[in-house]
């Protein structure tokens, strides 16, 4: 066998080894890529599940179950203002309250559903009449709501603002309780948002009441 032949065979052998190594490397890289592809959705799924099953406690559940009917009553009061209020600032404030609290009701309802906990049903008045009034500070009675609906003009404006100040103060108390005792970060964040927004609205309403 000539040196040239040996060289050629060695060269060919080298090419084969190199090729095999290259293919093995590609195969390994391909297997890794496939594995990574499966791991990514899995990791995402775990994250999604962790998010859906985020830690929550009794305080979080109670906050949502109480604040939903509390907010619903504020929305009812705001709806009355649309046709009965005379003061432009009262009307604007009522619309602002409804615009903020209606989406919050939907958010809290979604939380309770995700947690497998009961969602308050019926009207706020029904919830109040069931004995929940001592648990929901600032909640108006059936008589309060009937009296508000029976007024209009400046009389309505004064009554609405007076009642809504008390209603908001109750919500702030509930929010502070959640901030102190809650376990779920999202619920506590909403409680902080409610406390900040409603404190500001209380200040505004006190100014309105002073000039009415």
Structural domain that includes position 123: 55-211
The pLDDT value recorded for residue 60 is: 96
Q: DSSP per residue over 25-82, as a string?
A: HHHHHHHHHHHHHHHHHHHHHHHHHHHHT----HHHHHHHHHHHHHHHHHHHHHHHHH
27 and 59 part of one domain? no
Residues 6+ apart with CB under 8 A from 14: none
> Could you report the per-residue pLDDT of 72-88, keeping only the tens digit for each?
999 999 999 999 999 99
pLDDT of the residue at 128: 42
Digit-coded pLDDT (tens) for 86-145 = 999 999 999 999 999 999 999 999 999 999 999 998 655 444 433 344 468 999 999 999
What tens digit of pLDDT does each residue of 152-193 get?
Answer: 999 999 999 999 999 999 999 999 999 999 999 999 999 999
Q: How many domains does the chain have?
A: 2
pLDDT score of 121: 81
Position 6 confidence tier, pLDDT thresholds 50, 70, 90:
very low
Cα–Cα nearest to 100, from 179, 55, 164? 164
Burial of 24 (0-12, 13-18, 19+ CB in 10 A): exposed
**pLDDT tens, position by position, 28-57:** 433 433 333 333 333 333 343 444 457 899
Claim to verify: residue 9 and residue 101 sit in the same structural domain: no
Backbone angles phi, psi at 85, to 5 degrees: -70, 150
Same domain, 70 and 144: yes
Q: Are residues 3 and 35 in the same domain?
A: yes
State the pLDDT at residue 140: 97
pLDDT at residue 204 in the model: 97
Q: Measured between alpha carbons, how far is 43 from 187 in angstroms, rounded to an integer?
A: 25
- What integer pLDDT is reported at residue 54 of this predicted model? 73
C-alpha 86/C-alpha 157 separation (Å) is: 7
pTM over the 0.85 mark:
no
What is the pLDDT, as a whole number, of residue 131? 37
- Residue 148 or residue 17, greater confidence: 148
Same-domain pairing of 146 and 81: yes
Same domain? 92 vs 187: yes
Look up the CATH number of the domain holding residue 139.
1.20.1260.10
What's the token pair of residue 60?
């979080």
- Looking at the fold, whether 155 and 180 belong to one and the same domain comes out as yes
Euclidean distance between CA atoms 201 and 142, whole angstroms? 24
């Amino acid at each position: 066998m000539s040196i040239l032949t040996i060289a050629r065979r060695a060269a060919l052998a080298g090419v084969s080894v190199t090729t095999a190594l290259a293919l093995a490397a590609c195969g390994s890289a391909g297997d890794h890529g496939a594995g990574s592809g499966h791991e990514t959705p899995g990791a995402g799924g775990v994250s999604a599940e962790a998010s859906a099953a985020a830690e929550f406690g009794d305080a979080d559940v109670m906050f949502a179950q109480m604040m939903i009917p509390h907010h619903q009553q504020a929305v009812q009061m705001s709806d009355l203002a649309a046709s009965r209020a005379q003061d432009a600032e009262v009307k604007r404030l009522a619309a602002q309250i409804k615009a903020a609290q209606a989406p919050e009701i939907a958010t809290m309802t979604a939380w309770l559903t995700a947690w497998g906990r009961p969602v308050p049903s019926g009207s706020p008045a029904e919830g109040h009449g069931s004995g929940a009034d001592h648990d929901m500070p600032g909640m108006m009675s059936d008589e309060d709501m009937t009296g508000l609906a029976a007024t209009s003009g400046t009389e309505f404006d004064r009554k609405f603002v007076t009642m809504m100040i008390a209603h908001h103060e109750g919500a702030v108390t509930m929010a502070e309780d959640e901030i102190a005792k809650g376990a779920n970060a999202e619920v506590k964040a909403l409680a902080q948002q409610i406390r900040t927004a409603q404190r500001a609205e209380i200040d505004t309403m006190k100014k309105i009441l002073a000039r009415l």
